[in-house]
Structure 1
Amino acid sequence: MLATPSLAFAQDQGNKPEVTVGAQAGYHDLGISDEVFDITGIEVDDASPIFGGFVSVDFPLSDALFAGVEGNANFGTDALDADYGASARLGIRTENGTKFYVRGGYQWVDIDYANILDVPDDAVPAGLDSTFGDYLVGVGIDLPLGGVSLRGNVDTIAFDTVRATAGVGFRF
């Protein structure tokens, strides 16, 4: 009897990919404030609220297992001008459709040095590269709610930064 809802879900889903498009908001901490203070004695704000969107495509591997890909893009209001990237997802889907997953990929971050240092834009040396990228690893959950899903993710870029996001997605 417990397998019946899962089998019914698998028949409804078939082997069709599930596409989700959504909006997200969160907080990205670059994790450099202590190092900057130790070197310069200057306190900096190295974190930023972020707002953006995502697109994911998940492919069922079995009744409970799925693999997928995701792209995201966000803009920041303080220490970050933007971050964007892509990742692969691997997870399990419960009988009610909740997805738990791990993900790994690559993320680029465009830093706003003027905001971090609290100086005018023209005080930042011209030609200073403000974009860096590295590998991303994280965990997440998607909770189905009718035709939408609520989601939460916690990620790190190269185990140097911490980024937490929450969002809502529309499934197709």
Structure 2
Amino acid sequence: MRYLTLAAAAATLFAAPAYAQTDTAPDGTPAFGIEPYVGLMGGYNDFDSDNDGPLTTNCNGRSGCPDGGFVEAVAGVNIPVAAFFIGAEGNVAKGFKGIDYEYGVYGRAGLRAGDSGLIYGKVGYQWIETDERSNGDREDDGISYGLGVEVGPKDIGLGGLTGNSGVRLRLEVSTFDLQNIRPSAGVIFHF
């Protein structure tokens, strides 16, 4: 009886990983590989007037506050690992008011959800150049954190509209050195 129990345990131990390993992810793409992407986003930087950081010293209603909208281009690569993924991303943003340019690099990790969705967290380094500073300091850099989701056409009921083009809607919120909140939305094109 003891040998039968050991044999059953060994069979389960070796069969479980083989059973769990699949050739495709939830969205039908390969479970392992490289997925490059590019995208266009838009959003708003809202800096905290109570924070004492370099970019927020003039945020008490004065003209030096870098609050304002932006348009951002992103490019990156995801490496799917079954139902999870890891990746790297770079961004360049042009601000409409307050911030002139932003650029940064991030590492991302998360879950693949539904037919074509992603749920992720990211952390990286961001550089910010402001339009005008009263103290002459036009640049700041620091750690940036974020959370986001991407949903594809099948996830929002548009399965037949775009086919397998890899178009996804991204919603994200991030912060720069915990000095601001930066919600954004856009379209991501996966290859």
TM superposition score category, shorter chain reference: 0.7 to 0.9
Residue 117 of structure 1: aligned partner: none
**Is 1:16 aligned to 2:33, yes or no?**
yes
Residue 100 of structure 1: aligned partner: 119
Residue 146 of structure 2: aligned partner: 138
Residue 187 of structure 2: aligned partner: 168
Measure the CA separation in 2 of the matches of 1:106 and 1:40.
23
What is the SS of the residue equivalent to 2:152? Answer: strand
**Is 1:75 aligned to 2:90, yes or no?**
no
Flag structure 1 segments of 5+ consecutive residues without an equivalent.
Answer: 1-5, 115-123
How many residues were matched structurally? 153
| Aligned-partner residue type, residue 30 of structure 2 | Q
| Aligned-partner residue type, residue 122 of structure 2 | R
TM-score by length of 1: 0.78
- Cα displacement string for residues 17-51 of structure 1 (whole angstroms, at most 9, x for unaligned residues): 11110101000112237769xx8896225411000
Structure with a larger share of its residues in strand:
1
What is the SS of the residue equivalent to 2:97? Answer: coil
Q: Structure 1 residues 80, 96: closer, same or farther in 2, change over 3 A?
A: same
- Cα displacement string for residues 116-161 of structure 1 (whole angstroms, at most 9, x for unaligned residues): xxxxxxxx56xx2211010011101111124201101100111111
Deviation at 1:167, TM superposition (A): 0.7
What is the SS of the residue equivalent to 1:96? Answer: coil
Look at both structures and tell me which one has the larger radius of gyration over its CA atoms: 2
Deviation at 1:7, TM superposition (A): 4.4
Residue 3 of structure 1: aligned partner: none
What is the SS of the residue equivalent to 2:24? Answer: helix
Flag structure 2 segments of 5+ consecutive residues without an equivalent.
Answer: 1-20, 154-161
Work out whether residues 66 and 98 of structure 2, in 8 Å CA contact, stay in contact via their aligned partners in 1: yes
TM-score by length of 2: 0.71
What is the SS of the residue equivalent to 1:13? Answer: coil
What is the SS of the residue equivalent to 1:15? Answer: coil
Work out whether residues 31 and 46 of structure 1, in 8 Å CA contact, stay in contact via their aligned partners in 2: no
